Amino acid sequence: MSAIAAIFIVLATVAVMEGVAWASHKYIMHGFGWSWHRDHHEPHDKLLEKNDRFALFGAAISIALFAAGSPMIMGGKAWEAGTWMGLGVLVYGVIYTLIHDGLVHQRYFTWVPRRGYAKRLVQAHRLHHATLGREGGVSFGFLIARDPAVLSRELRAQRESGAAQLRDAV
């Protein structure tokens, strides 16, 4: 496989992972997985959250793809693209950890962006955390942040319709 093809597979996998993360956040974490995700939405002073268990699933996907691409493990049945897809999942996980856990939730470092896309990411995620409970909500992605003004209007509409209860006036 050419280097260009490998790079394309890594970048495409990172892009696809944002969709996977959005869907799993909306339908699993705010669905049947709420018992693990809840503490992420509540104030606490613990180093780790139950929510951190979800990272193990991403790690397992990455490891499985690396294994599928490994001639040492798979022998002559190795799938080379699996290696590059595994790397893409890993890269997404690192980006997620730095942006979501680091920048947005300040778990590893303190920096409050004053402008640009980083500020938009933080605002969008704070609007996501504005609801009480698992119902309602906006902005389930992690790297793609919609306009905070639009998200705020959507939250107000959810509150007015009774679909969501907000923590504070948004």
> For 166, which DSSP code?
E
Cα–Cα dist 22/144, whole Å: 9
How far is it, in rounded angstroms, from Cα 167 to Cα 127? 10
Sorting pLDDT into bands at 50, 70 and 90, what band is 93? Answer: very high
Note the pLDDT of residue 137.
83
Containing 80, the helix (H) or strand (E) segment is helix 80-96
Instruction: Report which residue type is found at 166.
Output: L
List of E strands, 57-137: 131-132
Interval 99-147: pLDDT, tens: 999 999 988 888 999 999 999 999 999 999 888 777 778 888 888 889 9
pTM above 0.85, yes or no: yes
Do 81 and 95 form a contact (C-beta atoms < 8 A)?
A: no
How does pLDDT run across 47-67, given as a tens digit for each residue?
899 999 999 999 999 999 999
Cα 47 versus chain centre, distance: 19
Question: Domain locations in the chain?
Answer: 1-111, 112-170
